[in-house]
Structure 1
């Protein structure tokens, strides 16, 4: 069985999904999220500054648990680990990436969008997966439908989740966390609006509190 991501979350239920275009924003953004109750972050490799941003957070923000998202290749997998990531995330898994993951004991959350993909990842030892893009592939009804045949797999749904729908996901037994881009969207990061991001983070940290248990 591949190492799970959930033990790193320490009960955290919401993971902000981040695109950091300017590495200078990395420290204040991460500090804002950690200070407001969201210590687990997914920094996506969707900008040229992403790896540098990860290094800055790893070195300067105490308490930050860094996930590295949008990993597509073995090269990115290795770079994410070297930059200081605690775990990796992918939108899906190619055959080549899956082979690299099998040889790597880094906690990893591979993406799946169909039952066949979920079963392939399950056979490879991944009992925690990212359902992506969650709202498009069926959302909560999808999670409920697959909870029977793959009851031993847990998910972190990501993609299209909003503050209004977050609790609908978090109440499901086969959901251990959710990912959300609404907390620190690119426009707020560009504007350095840490006040608004902090407010959103505090609200997100309270989501699902009634179902929260220590992992």
Structure 2
């Protein structure tokens, strides 16, 4: 009889898969470095960061994400930069929740160190979520801007910033309403470079 898809994967297999993904990401990074194209460097470094995060190498993941962000900013691509801010915020929020679960379940963990790490992850999540929201009006279109705001809102909700999360949701809903009505509000056009009030 076939194993059900809901079976918990063997941790050793997950670890092996994550290490293989890291090797592939590092090979991709080597190729990207040979060309030094900012867009490709950003993609490769983000892939490396994701792989490190899965392996719980949090400092290496944070360093790779920071480099990816610098390359994204150098590329001049607002979409890539904002998307990366969202991903870093989401990754930090997941890390914060993982650390919280570890504190609740694992009596061997140093509670002071775990709480400090959790605070750092929370602040990183908040910082990048707010930066994504600030830069949201610079992305390609209103639909993408609304998605960015909703992603940032979800992170802030996980961090306990419910009021800020609701404000971003309201901004996103206004944008989606304008898009569905077929109307264009010049104050929301990314080309004007106006940053919406947060």
Q: TM-score, normalised by structure 1?
A: 0.27
Q: Which has the higher helix share?
A: 2
Q: Which has the higher strand share?
A: 1
